Amino acid sequence: MKTKNLLLAGAAGFGTFMLYKMWSNKKPATSPKQAIQHWVDTVCKHNPTDIVNLYAPDGVLLGTVADTIKKGRGQIIEYFNMFVQKKPCGEITSIIEQHDGNIATVDGTYTFKLTNEEGKVDEVPARFTFVLRNVGGKWLIATHHSSKQPNI
């Protein structure tokens, strides 16, 4: 019985290791649209360090719920340290990409679900603009502006 349990535990551990290796060796997004989807997926995991690593070192963020402009990864991570407390997860609802060479602009809309102070989930529709730079085959966010959709 112990041998069977050890074999099962070993197989499970090996499977987990292989999944980790596949995930960690994932190729970077090959298009600006994929880079933005990757950003949304990363935000949903609530890890500020992983999120900020998608920004250029000198990137700029005008966040949806920020009261100031954030410049550089040091200030951007301050925003995401706060933002992930709301357990955000978003979905892109429209997207337009324009790029020429190593610079791209991606505009669109997304809806984020955010947990408020009472523990209820609010849906926040917002619009965005990302300016990305292709650095060594990886699209990094140079500028990101997000604002709530107006209630008309």
How high is the mean pLDDT of the chain?
86
Report pLDDT digits (tens) over 3-17: 554 444 444 444 433
Which domains occur in the chain, in start order? 28-148 (3.10.450.50)
Average pLDDT score over residue span 117-126:
96
Report pLDDT digits (tens) over 53-79: 999 999 999 999 889 999 999 999 999
pLDDT reading at 97 higher than 80: yes
For the record, the structure tokens of 1 come out as: 């019985």
Q: Which pLDDT does position 19 carry in this prediction?
A: 34
Q: Which pLDDT does position 20 carry in this prediction?
A: 39
Q: Which pLDDT does position 28 carry in this prediction?
A: 56
Question: DSSP character for 119?
Answer: S
pLDDT reading at 131 higher than 80: yes
Stated pTM of the model: 0.80
Q: Which pLDDT does position 18 carry in this prediction?
A: 38
Q: Are 140 and 133 in contact (CB under 8 A)?
A: yes
Q: 104: closest CA among 135, 126, 77, 69?
A: 135
Query: What is the C-alpha to C-alpha distance for residues 74 and 3, in angstroms, rounded to an integer?
Result: 50
Coil, helix or strand for 9?
A: helix
State the pLDDT confidence band at 1, using cuts at 50, 70 and 90: low
